[in-house]
Structure 1
Amino acid sequence: MNAREDAARPEARDGLRCLVTGATGYIGGRLVPELLDAGHRVRCLARSPGRLRDQTWQRDVEVVRGDVTDAVSVAGAMRDVDVAYYLVHALGTGKDFEETDRRAARIFGEQARAAGVRRIVYLGGLTPEGVPERDLSPHLRSRAEVGRILLGCGVPATVLRAAVIIGSGSASFEMLRYLTERLPVMVTPSWVRTRIQPIAVRDVLRLLVGSARMPSEVNRTFDIGGPEVLTYRDMMVRYAAVAGLPRRVILPVPVLTPGLSSHWVGLVTPVPASIARPLTESLRHEVVCREHDIARYVPHPPGHPLGFDESVRLALQRVRDARVTTRWSSASVPGAPSDPLPTDPDWAGGSLYTDEREKAVDAPPEALWQVIEGIGGENGWYSFPLAWSLRGLLDRLVGGVGLRRGRRDAQRLLVGDSLDFWRVEEIEPGRLLRLRAEMRLPGLAWLELCVEHDGTGSATPHDGGRTRYRQRALFHPHGLLGHTYWWAVSPFHAVVFGGMARNIARAAARAPLTRTREREPAR
């Protein structure tokens, strides 16, 4: 039974069978759960399926190994598919990326036609009006060519063309984030005056999902964008306002060529030069929607498309907490489309500084947990008491809580308890204590204390098990002052956090294990 006959069955009429390429990428990883929520069945084609193992939706999809440049694997992935999403491109893979994009698009279109796929959906780049294709940046030129190849492959195609996508993990957004947060005064390339029509990632995903059900006669491109046209300078100024940063001083100069400005971006941000260069080259051109025909086929719900400020607010809303909840044992981060994903690159989601320590402990896990749960208050913080006292005094001098709050109970902690100048954010009895700082800081800070054991049950050093103590301090800086603060105090971390890890391990080894009362439910 082929795809069309199978789709005619009553049980298959509602949900479509969708193939998603690029599921380990920025858009693909966020599109999959949206398709599942819409009632569709999803198959993912990935070169490295293991990269999807920590996605919360991984068990709800079919994952096949393959590459879009390999016709055999693409043919297998296309079998019994109704809609095929093409969400890959070779940006940052080397000088021959245009040829790689061209070959992959041809293979994808040919195999989709051979398999009887009913529609291809592709997300490309918005191109400037009146500029010959040969004068475009290689990045935009290649994306335009891929769109043309897919439109001409014999399968009805929807080609969505977007400019800057606003959402945590988007390379364009991350470049905007780092430039704005790290530089209160900027000497910038002249392309900061370029007019751009950004769009929220939530709107992009909504339009991608809706495009699956377009009428069969539709085979064309659609320009998609948010409700506002802004210069890059406007976006930096408004990002700063939404993020609560002081107003940025931006001084455009004409001498920074796209090549030089990509090196400048590389110095200021962690976005790789192989990605920054094509993005900055593309910013030479004005990218504004010339039509809004997509609304005829995928109507906008109330409140959409989202404005720039709301898009940024959503991108910043949960990213800090979501990145912090990624622990040693799991990279799974469920959440909204604006939130970070396990497959996002390390440079996505803003800066997150960490100090990690690990110690083997000559004691059962219960003894180590007993020390961890008793930390703070009269028991102190197990390292350099003078430094902790001084930090508490400084905090009080600037209007903070200092160390005066102590603890509610000498032995037990509950979620929400104050603990000196920390707050208990999460507690997993016997395993994890996460504290959120409530001292005055130019950013957000957490401290995680974790018990690990490689055996089963309550191990001792004599039964083959091994107890380990793991400690992690995290800091999400706010503006340039936050980065300066971290680097100013980092020389003391070896004494404060290193000593803390050593002394907690020693205290667990020599402390008698006491029976604790039955634990109350965590608040």
Structure 2
Amino acid sequence: MPQPTRILVTGATGYVGSRLAARLLDEGHSVRVLVRQADRLKHKPWFRRVEIHEGDVCEISKLNDALSGIHTAYYLIHSMTAGSQFGRRDVELAGSFGRVARSVGLQRIIYLGGLGESGEALSEHLRSRQETGQALRSSGVPVTELRAAVIVGAGSISFEMVRYLTERIPLMICPRWVFRRIQPIAIDDVLSYLVAALDLPIGESRTIEIGGADVLTYGKMIKGYARLRGLRRVLLPVPVLTPRLSSHWVHWTTPVPATYARPLIEGLRCEVVVRNDDAAVLFPQIRPMGYEQAVSRALVELIPESFQDAVAAVVERPVGLEISRTVLTDRGMIVEVWQKTVRTTPETAYRAFCSLGGKRGWLYMSWAWRLRAWVDQLVGGVGMRRGRPEDRLPAEGDPIDSFQVERMEPGRLLRLRADMKLPGAGWLQFEARPVTEELTRLVQAVFYAPRGVFGLLYWYTLNPVHRLIFAGLLERLADVAERDGAPRRHVKA
């Protein structure tokens, strides 16, 4: 285990950087982060445990402050969204970082780059990743460069392409790049390598290729994901479909924008596999997992707990006394957040939504809730036969009609998991957040993880009805909370 060290993490708002910061803190290291906007970190559970420097890598004075007193820096910056000149910008930023790092006496830079054998077939994206590593080394500061292919984990753009393509397209027209060999690696293993690199001797630069236990094609990655999700997918090879056309196809059929999809797809023109055993020799304690195990871990994150930071960011936006609605799509989950400010206390609002179901019903269009439960019973579901505890507030594990209480925080939060038959998984969450002594933010969130095309059709077909029902439910809950919290008038006899 590495000795505690004073470390700088750049790119801490990104997919790898945010997870690396948490892992380093757990290992006992003192962590400083350099970010352009500190507000983007405040929903991270480790926010108050790190030292935050706000600034850009191109701002020399701020970069100098961020690197001062640091032993090792992780360089996790890329400019894929910067347009056609992203490669040049990456190299310029890396050169600037390296020069400042040398001037302040930094001991080592650890950099995460991309796999791929140098040559004409190497894409602009992968070439820029490798040129960035060279720019860092040219500063004279020792650089440990880890090179990886597709990182498998919820939130990784590369993995999200696999997720959305597989979930949404039963018959895929596949160009040649889908059948190139690739060596994906789990995010947990990437983090293990990044942390273990701290134990390597300082003094020389190294380039280490890392990958998971399986070498397969992008097509087999799609098939493996489909198998774990219980989906059947057909891949139809076609002789021509350029990376540019493929990126637009991905953009049209998934939430992944073409600006990300194109460089990633172009990177698959050549094989991206580990070609030596340096990682196994240097890090014998790390035994990388296989692809399907990595996907299984990523799918576990399809729970509302993983999306609480996104909900919190929405909730912090100014909201008046009228109902607001926000819809997010992230990591395979659709999240619909309804909000309304009510004149009552959080405790009163909490008791209002904890009283839903059973004899009281669902306050608005209860007949629609009963109709959905009746349909559920017809197909073998639980319907509303279970009712709810009528003599007390619900507890975790209690049934409430077609739901089960999955999580609750007394006075603040109630989360219900849908036990009805669904082409996916669903949750309904209520939260009471204090605004002032007299005002409370009533937050109602719907979480839905669709399974395959039918899951998406189910959501969008019923969405107009759901919007009506959930808007009405929040309005009625607000009325009940304000009525129950109003001071009682005493009439003199």
Partner residue, 1:485: 458
For residue 285 of structure 2, the aligned residue among 271, 277, 300 is 300
The answer to whether the 8 A contact 2:404-2:416 is kept is: yes
For the residues of structure 2 that align with 1:216 and 1:431, how far apart are their CA atoms? 50
Report deviation, 1:217.
Answer: 4.1
Residue of structure 2 in register with 1:9 after alignment: none
Which residue of the partner structure matches residue 158 of structure 2?
172
Show the counterpart of 1:349.
Answer: 331
Deviations 1:104-143 (A, max 9, x none): 11111112222222211111011136x33xx422111111
Distance 1:101 1:467, change over 3 A: closer
Q: 1:194 to 1:436 in 2, by over 3 A?
A: same
1:246 aligned partner: 231
Shift of the 142–328 alpha-carbon distance from structure 1 to 2, 3 Å rule, reads closer
Other-structure match for 2:491? none
Q: How many residues align?
A: 475
Quick check: 1:168–1:348 contact (8 Å CA) kept in 2?
Answer: no
1:321 to partner: Cα distance? 3.4
Structure 1 residues 74, 174: closer, same or farther in 2, change over 3 A? same
CA RMSD between the two structures: 2.4
Distance change in 2, residues 1:270/1:147 (3 Å): same
Rounded Cα–Cα distance in structure 2 between residues aligned with 1:442 and 1:480:
9
Does structure 1 retain, via aligned residues, the 8 Å contact 2:95–2:136? yes
Contact 1:372 1:449 in 2 (8 A): yes
Q: Determine the structure 1 residue equivalent to 2:90.
A: 101
Distance verdict in 2 for CA 1:40–1:235, change over 3 Å: same
Q: Is residue 234 from structure 1 mapped to residue 217 from structure 2 by the alignment?
A: no
Q: Does the 8 Å CA contact 1:384/1:495 hold for their aligned counterparts? A: no
Shift in Å at residue 157 of structure 1?
1.1
- Output the TM-score relative to the length of structure 2: 0.90
SS in 2 for 1:84: strand
Q: Which residue in 1 is equivalent to 2:180?
A: 194
**8 Å contact kept, 1:368–1:451:** yes
CA–CA separation in structure 2 for the residues paired with 1:363 and 1:216: 60
Separation in 2, partners of 1:210, 1:452? 41
- Report which stretch shifted further, 291-300 or 264-273: 291-300
Matches within 5 A, 1:32-431: 32-128=21-117, 131-132=119-120, 135-242=121-228, 244-301=229-286, 304-326=287-309, 328-329=311-312, 348-354=330-336, 356-361=337-342, 367-431=348-412
Q: Letter of the aligned partner of 2:136 in structure 1?
A: L
Deviates more, 1:73-82 or 1:25-34: 73-82
Q: State the 1:347 CA deviation.
A: 5.5
Say if 1:468 and 1:188 are closer, same or farther in 2 by CA, change over 3 A.
same
Deviation, 1:421, is 0.7
TM-score, length-scaled by structure 1:
0.85
User: In the alignment, what sits opposite 1:459?
Assistant: none
Aligned partners of 1:483 and 1:80: how far apart in 2? Answer: 51
Q: Distance in 1 between matches of 2:464 and 2:265?
A: 36
2:420 aligned residue: 439
Q: CA deviation at 1:173?
A: 0.6
Q: Which amino acid aligns with 1:483?
A: L
Query: For the residues of structure 1 that align with 2:69 and 2:307, how far apart are their CA atoms?
Result: 40
Which runs of 5 or more residues in structure 1 are unaligned? 1-12, 333-345, 457-464, 516-523
The 2-side partners of 1:235 and 1:388 are apart by 40
Cα deviation, 1:243-273, whole Å, max 9, x if unaligned, reads x232211112122111000000001111121
Question: Which residue number in structure 1 is paired with residue 319 of structure 2?
Answer: none
SS at match of 1:92: helix
Moved more, 315-324 or 194-203: 315-324
Shift of 1:197: 0.7
Change (3 A) 1:115 1:433: same
* Contact 2:344 2:486 (C-alpha < 8 Å) held by counterparts: no
CA contact (8 A) 2:304 2:427 kept: no
Answer yes or no: is 1:455 the counterpart of 2:441. Answer: no
Which deviates the most, 255-264 or 367-376?
Answer: 367-376
Letter in 2 for 1:495: L
Counterpart residue type for residue 267 of structure 1 = W
Which consecutive unaligned segments of at least 5 residues does structure 2 have?
Answer: 316-327, 489-493
Q: Measure the CA separation in 1 of the matches of 2:39 and 2:310.
A: 18
- Which amino acid counterpart does residue 32 of structure 1 have in structure 2? A
Percent of pairs with identical residues = 45
More moved, 282-291 vs 66-75: 66-75
